[in-house]
A and B are shown apart, each in its own frame.
Chain A
Amino acid sequence: MRSLILIVSTVIILILIIQSCEKFQPAAPSEDEILDGPIEGLTNAENIQFLNGDRAFSEVYTSSKGLGPLFVTNSCVSCHSGDGKGHPFSTLTRFGQSDTSGNQFLTMGGPQLQHRAIPGYEPESIPEGASFSRFTPPAVTGLGYLQYVTDADILEMADPNDMDNDGVSGVPNWMPLKDFLQPSTNAISQNGKYIHRFGKKASAYDLLDQTVGAYNQDMGITSTFSPIDTYSGLSIDPEVSDKDVRDVVFYLETLKAPIQRNKDDPEVVQGKNLFVDINCAACHKPTLTTGYSPIDKLSNKTFHPYTDLLLHDMGSNLDDGYTEGAAQTYEWRTPPLWGLGLSPTTQGGQYFLMHDGRANTIEEAILMHGGEAQSSKLLYENLAEQEKNALIKFLESL
């Protein structure tokens, strides 16, 4: 009898555990705490492509899959961990172009330094006399929205001659299109050149351009779009399929935009107003809209990236003497500020801000602004302590 009771109670306990096992497992972090995940409302077919892209984005390349021989790291996700910003470990170096006349070191390994190599090979080093700049990986969230902002809207924000006299001009990076790229439906061209918008110098046209370049320059993976091997300088067989490249592009297009936290906190609201008052918003434009997109959920949408996608003179302290396309060495594209507060979740618990990660706090980043942003920075410095805190609290909520 006693053993019957024992058996029955053991079975009941087991059933209870099986029934309620989800309760004993860690809960998911809330949506606004993480950067990855698709935009809402994708079709099932789009979700499938998103997942395929996610897998390709996470794929670790090995020497047998074509890694290198020269490379920077071995997967997209190793630099864009959690789809967020990168770390000094994954910070890359570009060199060899010091004015708008183009890169003079293309035959000596430029524009990108591959400072790592698979066993048996010697990595590159920066050739003597080449100026260089270091780029910390940016977050890759919400880029689909940025891709479908129309050229007309970008030109509307540009003010090359500072007609409105606010000290902030802003110019697009006009560059010729690479062979494998198609101008977008709403593209505007000028002397055969097009507005490029991605990357710190706005030198990548669209997400395909950026992805193909990353495979080739960051990992040493050739594709039909970009078949030249960085080691030999000669064309070799594609090491990533067109489908994988397309899936990754689709994945980048459909990654959700970061979600703001503590939006209604009075201090955050105060900070947001100050952000506009001291003219941060002249470059970090709070609201943009998309034009037509073949992805239905991205067409004609209003969103809040805090960028104008334009290049600005940021002063001599941020001038590394290196540049790309039509940008000057002292010009940088305004980075979106959405997701800023979540940066430490992918940067190993710390902040590494500005193009090369030189700022370890948001305040440091602000104080490094110069050039067109000089007066805005001075206004920040003149804020009361409480106001500064409110502004930073707002930035952290993004």
Chain B
Amino acid sequence: MKKRITIVFVLLSALSYSQIDSTLFKRTEKDSSLQLNMDAVYDRPFLSYGKFPVSLGGYAEVNWQHIGTDGVSEGHQFQMRRMTLFVASTISRKIKFLSEIEFEEGGKEIAIEFASIDVEFHPLFNLRSGIIMNPIGAFNQNHDGPKWEFTDRPVSAVQLLPATWSNAGFGLFGKTYKGDWMFGYEFYLSGGFDDEIIDNDLGKTFLPVSKDNPERFTESASGRPLTTAKLAIRNKYVGEIGLSYMGGVYNTYQDDGIILDDKRRLNVFAIDYNTTIPKINTFITGEFVWIHVEVPESYTQQYGNMQHGGFIDVVQPVLQRKMFGWEDATLNLAFRLEYVDWNVGKFDETGGNIADDLWSVMPAISFRPSQQTVFRLNYRIQRQQDFLGNVPANTAGFSFGISSYF
């Protein structure tokens, strides 16, 4: 797998290097017309060459951070969090291919986040197949580093939901406009989760562990599809609201035709919202998710059957003008509030609250020389409680990062 990806890239980069006349390159800026979250995969700057049908893009994220918990710190950490490459091509009229390949932590992990063929029959009726990004919440599909004012992804997006969560599958999507209104839907069937979400060495119900299962692109653990569906409505003045659902049987309840266990389901609901307040240009975005996982009664409450959490970001541009020679630079103040409860419920033994939760606030300053690039400085203050609700672990510290499309 790794090898094949490398070959593709060597070929692609050879193609682009051999054509040195840079005047031929055209940068497609982000399309800023009325957009929905679901457009995020196409809503990216691409580099295309003349009439050549393939366009390229990508982004990188570099961080420095110094964070400590209760007097213990790992010291200065320099991280190349990820580098992502996009390749898009128009295969023929109304048939497009788009892929996103991510190299995480210096190449330790390589993942195809997205690789799908989209066929448009009608704006309201498109067929998508390949490796799709499940449209649960908004962040999962709209996760590009340079779009955010924070070096870290929201805790609820990566530790409740498994962003970036993609699976082999297919489905339909479409959208339509009317006046100031826009409506979009997505519906996919795909591979999905496995037993490890409630049997892992984190000792808690944790959907993201299924990302570590490389088999999932070829074999679904339960043999049942994971259904993901989303509806989104945007009003030009009010903003966009999305309602999404993801669910299905997650466990290997049979093997070789032999029954091993009861069928157990997982259901996830999410709501997301984003808007820009006119005149003052405050940008607000957030999502909240509720997860319900069927856990056998006789198993342990360490693996909770309910989880919820979310985040809200408020971004306020404070200076928008020529700065340091950049024509259209912006300086923002931003703030993120997040909350996650990995185990919503009460102890069978005492009726007391099961904690296993986290609160975090994160003020930030970000500077954007252009919309494609962001320098951001964050300060995190976080309190995390263990399962029993003992004295919380206090974490705080700075991180500074640069993220840019290229």
A residues bordering B, Cβ < 8 Å?
A: 3, 6-7, 14, 17-18, 21-22, 24-29, 59-65, 67, 71, 73-75, 78, 81-82, 87-89, 91, 115-123, 345-349
Contacts and interface: CB of A to CB of B under 8 A. Distances in A.
Contact of B350 (A6, A7, A88): A88
A3 B324 CA distance: 6
B379 A24 contact: yes
Given A26-B68, A75-B203, A91 B349 contact: yes
B71 A120 contact: no
Contacts of B203: 60, 74-75, 78
B394 A116 contact: no
Contacts of A64: 199
30 contacts: A3-B325, A18-B66, A18-B76, A18-B398, A21-B397, A24-B397, A25-B66, A25-B396, A26-B394, A26-B396, A27-B70, A28-B70, A59-B201, A60-B201, A62-B196, A62-B200, A73-B300, A78-B302, A88-B347, A89-B350, A91-B349, A117-B298, A117-B299, A121-B298, A123-B298, A346-B388, A347-B390, A348-B355, A348-B389, A349-B391
Given A28-B70, A60-B203, A119 B302 contact: no
Interface string B56-71: 0000000010111111
Contact of B201 (A28, A62, A88, A347): A62
A81 B394 contact: no
Contacts of B394: 26
A21 B324 contact: no
Nearest to A345: B391
Interface string B131-160: 000000000000000000000000000000
Contact of B298 (A18, A21, A82, A116): A116
Contact of B301 (A6, A18, A75, A89): A89
Nearest to B198: A119
Interface of B: 64, 66-73, 76, 195-196, 198-203, 251, 260-261, 264, 296, 298-302, 323-325, 347-350, 352, 355, 377, 379, 386-391, 394-398, 400
Contacts of A27: 70-71
B33 to A, nearest CB: 33
A332 B390 CA distance: 28
Contact of A89 (B69, B71, B199, B349): B349
Given A81-B390, A117-B299, A26 B325 contact: no
A74 B390 CA distance: 19
B73 A89 contact: no
Contact of A118 (B199, B386, B398): B199
Nearest to B349: A88
Given A25-B67, A60-B203, A120 B390 contact: no
A65 B298 contact: no
A16 B252 CA distance: 54
Contact of A116 (B299, B349, B352, B398): B299
Given A6-B324, A7-B324, A62 B199 contact: yes
Most buried by A among B301, B325, B352: B352
B201 A65 contact: yes
A20 to B, nearest CB: 10
A162 B352 CA distance: 44
A75 B202 CA distance: 11
Contacts of A122: 298
Most buried by A among B260, B261, B379, B388: B388
B390 A349 contact: yes
B390 A73 contact: no
A36 to B, nearest CB: 11
Most buried by A among B66, B198, B325: B66
A60 B299 contact: no
A349 B202 CA distance: 23
A25 B67 CA distance: 7
Given A24-B397, A88-B350, A89-B388, A119 B301 contact: no
Given A29-B70, A118-B199, 12 more contacts: A17-B377, A25-B73, A29-B71, A59-B201, A64-B199, A75-B203, A78-B203, A119-B195, A119-B198, A119-B261, A119-B264, A346-B388
A236 to B, nearest CB: 19
